[in-house]
Amino acid sequence: DAGVIQSPRHEVTEMGQEVTLRCKPISGHNSLFWYRQTMMRGLELLIYFNNNVPIDDSGMPEDRFSAKMPNASFSTLKIQPSEPRDSAVYFCASSLLAGITDTQYFGPGTRLTVL
């Protein structure tokens, strides 16, 4: 079975450009999570969706970040305009439900570098 799929795996862009990260969750999973990982701040939850609806976006750093989930099999995280401090690894994860027993399975991540 395919796991969580993320694209691109690597993205290098210049400050001010728009960046779009994509995620396809595991088929049948109802919850999707976007995380950011940096050396300084560790793994941070940015936003999570349940049944395509954003439930908690309190981790989204600022208005430059936006996330959508138009259907159960696709989500995007957009940064516009990008800044060098956005450089990080961005992970998408999905779980069957949002209960405490539901394991999150992570995608391979997108390594974003903003110059």
Partner 1 sequence: AQKITQTQPGMFVQEKEAVTLDCTYDTSDQSYGLFWYKQPSSGEMIFLIYQGSYDEQNATEGRYSLNFQKARKSANLVISASQLGDSAMYFCAMRETGGYQKVTFGTGTKLQVIP
Binding site for partner 1 (CB under 8 A): 33, 42-43, 45, 48, 55-56, 89, 91, 93, 98-109, 111
Q: Which is nearer to partner 1, 37 or 81 (CB)?
A: 37
Rounded least distance, CB 81 to partner 1, Å: 26
d(CA 42, CA 63): 21
Contacts of 1 (CB under 8 A, 6+ apart): 26, 27
Q: Which is nearer to partner 1, 45 or 81 (CB)?
A: 45
Cross-strand pairs, 22: 7, 76
